C-alpha cells in the first residue's frame, strides 16, 4: 500500500462552513476570510454558493463576495450552483469553476434540493452542459455516501450509481461526501475500489465530517486506497442545514497537521490557515471544533 506523495486540500470553510452558521457574517468579513485562506496557499477554495437565498440566507451575498475576493493565481475558486439560475448568477460574477450536488439517498436529496435523485441528475445534466460550453470546470458532490440522516445505511451500489452518472454527465471531479460524519474506515475500503472501476481516482475527492471523530481515520483509509484529494474546513466549521445533528467538516488544521507529520506535501501553510480560522472565530458565536486548531492556538498563546 503506497500513500500519495502529495495531497490536494479543498477548503470548504466559506461555503460548507458558513452556510450552517446562525451568526450573520458581513460580506466584508466573508471577503477578508476568503482572502486569508487564499494567502495560506490552498489550491481550491469553495468561496460561496449561488443557491436560493431562501434556502441559505447566510450566503445570499454570493455575488458581492465573489466579486470582492482577491483571486490568487493557482487557486481554484469553486461556487455551488443548484440550477441554471445559479449558474447564470455564477457566470455573471465571473466564476470559472462550479459545483453541483446530489446525494446517494432519496430522502436527503428531496429535503436538500426538493428533487428525486433522478430529477437532480437530469437537472444537473443541463447545468453541466451549459457550464462546459463556457469552459467552466465542474465538481460534483455525492452527499450522504456513508449514511443518511433519514434513511440510515446507504448501499454502496447507490453511491456507485450516482457517482457514475455524475462522471458520465461530465463532472471533472467528484467529491464523495460523508455529510453527517457517520462513516468508518471499513466503508471507505469497501467503496473506493468499486469507484475506481468507473472513475479514475485522480478525479475523486473525499469529503468527511467529523461528527463521530472518524474523519482522519477515513482520510487514512482513502489515501491507502489511492485517493489524494480531500475536503476540509478551516477550524472545522460546517454542518448541513438539512442534516440534523451533523457537526463540522474535518478541520483543515487537523488534516494539515496529519499530512505534514506524514511528510505528505500539500503546499498549504498551516499557520496561515489558523490565522483565517482565528479571524472567522471572532465573528461567530461559538468556539471552533478543530482539535489541531485548538491545540496549536493554546500552544502558541
Which of 134, 166, 139, 9 shows the shortest CA–CA distance to 78? 139
CA distance 281 to 238: 13
- Give the C-alpha distances (Å, rounded to integers) separating 100 from 18, 128, 140, 180: 18, 8, 5, 18
Q: Decide if residue 173 touches Zn ion (CB under 5 A).
A: no
Q: Decide if residue 11 touches Zn ion (CB under 5 A).
A: no
Q: Could you give the string, one character per residue 232-271, with x where binding to ligand COA holds by CB under 6 A and - elsewhere?
A: --------x-------------------------------
Q: Which of 112, 158, 247, 277 binds ligand COA (CB under 6 A)?
A: 112
Rg (CA), the chain: 17
Which of 278, 256, 276 shows the shortest CA–CA distance to 267? 256
Q: Decide if residue 51 touches ligand COA (CB under 6 A).
A: yes
Q: Decide if residue 149 touches ligand COA (CB under 6 A).
A: no
Q: Is 134 exposed, middle or buried (0-12, 13-18, 19+ CB in 10 A)?
A: exposed
Q: How far is the CB of 287 from ligand COA (least distance, A)?
A: 23
Judged by beta carbon, residue 56 or residue 95, the one nearer ligand COA is: 56
Q: 112 contacts which partner out of ligand COA, Zn ion, none, CB within 5 to 8 A by kind?
A: ligand COA
Q: 51 contacts which partner out of Zn ion, ligand COA, none, CB within 5 to 8 A by kind?
A: ligand COA
List binders of ligand COA among 5-44 (CB under 6 A): 19
Residue 148 among the catalytic residues: no
Judged by beta carbon, residue 241 or residue 267, the one nearer ligand COA is: 241
Segment near Zn ion (CB under 5 A); pick from 8-16, 82-90, 131-139, 152-160: 8-16
Would you state the torsion angle of the CA atoms of residues 184, 185, 187, 188, taken in this order, to the nearest 10 degrees?
130
- Give the C-alpha distances (Å, rounded to integers) separating 28 from 245, 283, 284: 30, 11, 14
Q: Decide if residue 46 touches Zn ion (CB under 5 A).
A: no
CA distance 200 to 164: 11
Binding site for ligand COA (CB under 6 A): 19, 49-56, 82-83, 85-86, 89, 101, 112-114, 143, 240
Amino acid at each position: 500500500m503506497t500513500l500519495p506523495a502529495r495531497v490536494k486540500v479543498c477548503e470548504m470553510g466559506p461555503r460548507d462552513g458558513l452556510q450552517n452558521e446562525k451568526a450573520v457574517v458581513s460580506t466584508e468579513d466573508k471577503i477578508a476570510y476568503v482572502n486569508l485562506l487564499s494567502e495560506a496557499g490552498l489550491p481550491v477554495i469553495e468561496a460561496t454558493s449561488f443557491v436560493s437565498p431562501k434556502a441559505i440566507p447566510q450566503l445570499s451575498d454570493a455575488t458581492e463576495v465573489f466579486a470582492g475576493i482577491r483571486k490568487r493565481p493557482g487557486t481554484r475558486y469553486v461556487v455551488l450552483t443548484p440550477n441554471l439560475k445559479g449558474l447564470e448568477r455564477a457566470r455573471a460574477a465571473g466564476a470559472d469553476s462550479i459545483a453541483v450536488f446530489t446525494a446517494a439517498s432519496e430522502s436527503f436529496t428531496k429535503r436538500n434540493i426538493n428533487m428525486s435523485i433522478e430529477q437532480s441528475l437530469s437537472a444537473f445534466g443541463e447545468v453541466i452542459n451549459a457550464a462546459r460550453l463556457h469552459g467552466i470546470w465542474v465538481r460534483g458532490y455525492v452527499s450522504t455516501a456513508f449514511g443518511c440522516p433519514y434513511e440510515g445505511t446507504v448501499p454502496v451500489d447507490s453511491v456507485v450509481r450516482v457517482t457514475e452518472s455524475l462522471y458520465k454527465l461530465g463532472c471533472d471531479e467528484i467529491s464523495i461526501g460523508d455529510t453527517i460524519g457517520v462513516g468508518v474506515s471499513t466503508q471507505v475500503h469497501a467503496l473506493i475500489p468499486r469507484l475506481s472501476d468507473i472513475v479514475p481516482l485522480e478525479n475523486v475527492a473525499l469529503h468527511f465530517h467529523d461528527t463521530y471523530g472518524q474523519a482522519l481515520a477515513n482520510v487514512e483509509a482513502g489515501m491507502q486506497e489511492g485517493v489524494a484529494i480531500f475536503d476540509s474546513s478551516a477550524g472545522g466549521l460546517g454542518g448541513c442545514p438539512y442534516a440534523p445533528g451533523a457537526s463540522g467538516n474535518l478541520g483543515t488544521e487537523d488534516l494539515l497537521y496529519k499530512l505534514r507529520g506524514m511528510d505528505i506535501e500539500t503546499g498549504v501553510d498551516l499557520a496561515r490557515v489558523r490565522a483565517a480560522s482565528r479571524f472567522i472565530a471572532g465573528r461567530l458565536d461559538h468556539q471552533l471544533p478543530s482539535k489541531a486548531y485548538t491545540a496549536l492556538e493554546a500552544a502558541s498563546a
